[in-house]
């Protein structure tokens, strides 16, 4: 797929002609409410069988052609390069899809093996009705190679609402995790209406992941965490309750989210995780944890000190890095998930946690702050589609922070108040996917379902094969 950023005076029909697509395809892919209204800086996904490559220092066209398995001639022709030997750093090249003409006796399996892809990917891209009947001479578009990753998504909406969210994007998920069972000081757990969500997950071949936590919006959970972590008998009781719920409801994994834990309880937390693994592994269950976004083992603060990256990486099956919330709802306006900050967290994490155990967090919501910001004043939280609607409504040009790899804009509302909005778009999503590929991570964990972001799911599928258990 191609990501196109709208310039002044551009129309959807002109963009469609440029890439050999059509207006209806682009409008549908981006779920545009009005195809006749675009705003400067708006990023659009163009659903064609091509990719983009940003030229880096020292790269040659030959190296880029080799990387993507395409010919030099094709790159020169598609990008209308006057001088292929003079590539500027930062130039965005369109990488055309590879084409294969079916030879006599060839099977889709053989073709998939030749190009490092799968039969399913070829069938889907070429809309083949019967994979066992391919004609000699048929011209097939070959998918770009994709790594296989795990994808998790948390949902905070219970019952039918949460179930609907899982059904809607279930084909893109490996795990679904209703958030959350609240721990109690006696080792029991609060109840949640998660049965419809689990049923929806199973229908979509998604593995239900049970999540437990010690905190609520009203209570940081520090004292509760100490009470549980300092008492082995309480832990055993809680683990027995967890196992009973997993058995009864069909959960296959446990996600442990102890937050705001005292530094003095750090080793006790590690011991609890080992106890959980020792209880759950023999039953065929897996254990994961949610970790605050640290950049070193010595990072100070209640959110970080008890989260021992090295120990979690050794003990549990995988971890979810909560790489979001720099743009906190009660803090000043800034990118919610800035790529430069996420990179710092991952650079540290991979030194102490195996890469195939790391899930990178990705937020699915936008925020709108009033200006000037007053400390403690809460930003409004909504979905990416609403962010674009507001930019259109108020005639705001969307800007892009290259360091954070995040879009933002400012506008004045009908009451004369100034606002600043930070959100995600196709560019920032692609940048995060590229980071996952660069570091060879296990996958991505979304916080949280319920906020429409159609570009994300299209690009996720374009970049990765989602593992199904």
Annotated catalytic residues are: 259
Q: What's the Cα-to-Cα distance from 124 to each of 2, 27, 51, 157, 168, rounded to whole Å?
A: 18, 21, 17, 32, 19
How far apart are the C-alpha atoms of 134 and 107, rounded to whole Å? Answer: 8
The strand ranges marked E within 357-452 are: 358-363, 366-371, 380-382, 399-401, 406-412, 418-422, 443-447
Q: In terms of Cα–Cα distance, which of 149, 214, 211 is closest to 177? A: 211
| Sheet hosting strand 418-422, strand order edge to edge | 380-382, 366-371, 418-422, 406-412, 399-401
Helix axes 222-229, 266-280, angle to 10 degrees: 60
How remote is the C-alpha of 249 from its chain's centroid? 27
Element (H, E) at 50: strand 50-54
Residues 6+ away with beta carbon under 8 Å from 377: 330, 369, 370
| Residues 52 and 79: beta-carbon distance below 8 Å | no
DSSP per-residue letters across 349-367: HHHHS-GGGEEEEEE--EE
State the DSSP code for 435: H
- DSSP conformation letters of 273-289: HHHHHHHHGGGT-EEEE
User: Three-state SS for 242?
Assistant: helix
Q: Which residue has the tokens 């020292």?
A: 58
Question: Sign of the C-alpha dihedral, residues 239, 259, 333, 399?
Answer: negative
CB atoms within 10 A of CB 171: 13
Q: Is 174 helix (H, G, I), strand (E, B) or coil?
A: coil
Which residues make beta-bridge pairs with 410?
420
Burial 267-291 (b: 16+ CB within 10 A, else e): ebbbbbbebbbebbeeeebbbbbbb
């Amino acid at each position: 797929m191609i990501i196109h950023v709208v310039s002044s005076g551009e129309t959807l029909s002109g963009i469609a002609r440029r890439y050999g697509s059509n207006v209806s395809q682009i409008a549908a892919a981006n779920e545009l409410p009005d195809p006749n209204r675009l705003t400067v800086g708006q990023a659009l996904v163009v659903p064609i069988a091509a990719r983009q490559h940003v030229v880096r220092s020292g790269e040659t066209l030959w190296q880029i052609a080799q990387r993507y398995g395409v010919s030099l001639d094709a790159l020169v022709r598609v990008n209308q390069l006057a001088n292929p030997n003079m590539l500027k750093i930062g130039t965005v090249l369109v990488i055309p899809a590879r084409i294969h003409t079916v030879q006599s006796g060839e099977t889709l399996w053989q073709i998939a093996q030749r190009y490092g892809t799968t039969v399913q990917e070829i069938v889907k891209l070429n809309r083949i009705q019967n994979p066992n009947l391919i004609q000699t001479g048929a011209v097939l578009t070959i998918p770009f190679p994709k790594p296989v990753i795990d994808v998790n998504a948390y949902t905070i909406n219970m019952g039918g609402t949460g179930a609907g969210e899982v059904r809607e994007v279930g084909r893109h998920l490996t795990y679904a995790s209703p958030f959350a069972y609240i721990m109690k000081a006696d080792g029991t757990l609060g109840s949640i209406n998660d049965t419809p969500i689990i049923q929806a997950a199973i229908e979509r071949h998604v593995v239900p992941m049970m999540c437990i936590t010690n905190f609520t919006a009203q209570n940081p959970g520090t004292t509760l965490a100490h009470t549980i972590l300092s008492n082995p008998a309480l832990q055993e009781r809680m683990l027995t309750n967890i196992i009973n719920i997993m058995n009864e409801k069909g959960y296959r994994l446990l996600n442990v989210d102890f937050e705001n834990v005292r530094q003095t309880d750090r080793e006790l937390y590690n011991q609890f995780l080992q106890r959980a693994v020792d209880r759950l592994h023999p039953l065929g269950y897996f254990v994961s944890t949610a970790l605050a976004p640290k950049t070193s083992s010595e990072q100070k603060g209640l959110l970080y000190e008890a989260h021992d990256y090295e120990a979690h990486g050794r003990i549990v099956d995988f971890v979810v890095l909560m790489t979001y919330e720099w743009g906190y709802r009660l803090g000043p306006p800034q990118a919610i998930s800035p790529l430069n900050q996420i990179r710092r967290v991952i650079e540290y994490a991979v030194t102490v946690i195996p890469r195939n155990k790391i899930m990178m967090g990705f937020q699915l919501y936008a925020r709108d702050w009033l200006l000037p910001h007053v400390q403690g004043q809460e930003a409004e939280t909504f979905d990416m589609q609403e962010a674009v609607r507001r930019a259109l409504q108020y005639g705001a040009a969307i800007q892009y922070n290259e360091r954070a790899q995040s879009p933002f804009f400012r506008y004045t509302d009908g009451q004369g108040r100034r606002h600043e909005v930070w959100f995600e778009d196709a560019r920032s999503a692609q940048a995060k996917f590229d980071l996952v590929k660069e570091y060879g991570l296990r996958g991505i964990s979304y916080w949280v379902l319920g906020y429409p972001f159609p570009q994300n799911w299209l690009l996720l599928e374009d970049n990765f094969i989602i593992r199904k258990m």
